[in-house]
Amino acid sequence: MSNENKPVVVVVGSLHYDIMVDAPDRPRKGETVAGYAWRPKFGGKGGNQAVAAAKAGAEVRMAGAVGDDDFGTYLLRALEAGGVDASWVERLDGVGSGMSVAISDNGGDYGAVIVSGANLQSSLASLADESLWRDVSVLILQNEMPEAINILAATVAHKAGATVCFNAAPYREMSDDFLSLIDVLIVNAIEAEQLCGVQVSDLASAAAAAEALSQRFSAVVVTAGGDGVVGFRRSAPLINLPALPVKLVSTHGAGDVFVGALATAIAAMQPFAGCLAAANRAAAIHVSTKSV
C-alpha cells in the first residue's frame, strides 16, 4: 500500500483530446446537423479510467503517450488536476497527440471518431520502471493501445502480483496470448456479443453472456446500459444489479467511470458484489451529471 494507505492502481492506456459537440441528433451519412455548442474535454479511455479510479479513492499511476503539441500539454495538466501521477506518460517529439470528436444528442447518446496519434507510436519503455509497479494491486487495460503494449503491461503486472482488469473497448480481434493474461474482463452489451456471440438486450441475456464468457475468463462483468450490470465469478453465484434510477443527461464516458470505480474497489479488496455496486453507483452519478 502507499504512504496514504490508498490502493494502488496502474493504468496503461490511451489519452485523447476530446472535442465535444452538443447537437439535437447525430448526423446520418451525408447529412449536416446544426449543433448547439462545443467544448474541449480530457479523454481517451485510459485517461478517463485513470481519473475515475483516482476519484474513487485509488492512488493512480498512468503510463501512456502524448505528442509535443498543445493537446499534449492539456492532457498532462488534466491528469495532474484529476489526481493522477503522470510521471510515466511519455511526450513524443514530432508526433500529434491522440484526439477525438464526439457528438452528444438530445437523447443523451453519443457517437465518436478517434485519431490515435501518439497512443500508437510509443514503445512505452516506462513499463520497465520498477517504481511504476511498486505496491500495485490492479492494472487497467483497454483496446485503444497496441496489443503488444497490453501484453507487456499484463505480463509485468502479474509478476508484480497485480490483478489485470481489461475493458475490451473498442472491440477488436485479440490473440490467445493476450486473453490468457486477463483476470477480470469488463464488456458492454455489444462487446459481449462480439466476444461470445450472445446477443445482450436485458439483464437475463447479459447473464447468459457472462456465463458463456466465464468459460474463458475467471471473472466477467457485462454492463447492459440502462438495464444494469451482471457479474460472474467461477464457483460463485451470479450477481445481477439493476441500474439505479436517475435522470439521464449523457452516457458519454459512463463506461470508463464504471471501470475506474470497479478497479478501485477490487484493489481495495472489497467483496465482488460490493465492487459491482460501487461501480454501478459511480456510473449512475456520472450519467445524471452534466459534464464540463
What is the DSSP secondary structure assignment for residue 238, as one 8-state letter? -
List the chain domain ranges. Answer: 8-182+244-287
Choice among 18, 69, 227, 256 that is catalytic: 256
CATH architecture of 8-182+244-287: 3-Layer(aba) Sandwich (3.40)
**How many alpha carbons fall within 13 Å on the CB side of residue 116?**
13
Cell of 263: 478497479
Confidence of residue 2 (pLDDT cuts 50, 70, 90): very low
Q: What confidence score (pLDDT) does residue 287 get?
A: 82
Q: Which residue in the block uniquely carries the three cell numbers 507487456?
A: 152
Active site annotation includes 69: no
Q: Single out the residue of 161, 172, 177 nearest to residue 116, CA to CA.
A: 172
Average pLDDT of the chain, as a whole number: 93
Please report which helix (H) or strand (E) contains residue 282, including its range.
helix 272-287
Helix (H, G, I), strand (E, B) or coil at 164: strand
**Which letter does DSSP use for residue 120 in this model?**
G
Is the per-residue pLDDT at 132 higher than 60?
yes
pLDDT digits 0-9 by tens, 200-217 = 999 999 999 999 999 999
Paired with 138 in beta bridges are 9, 163
Q: Is the pLDDT of residue 108 over 80?
A: no
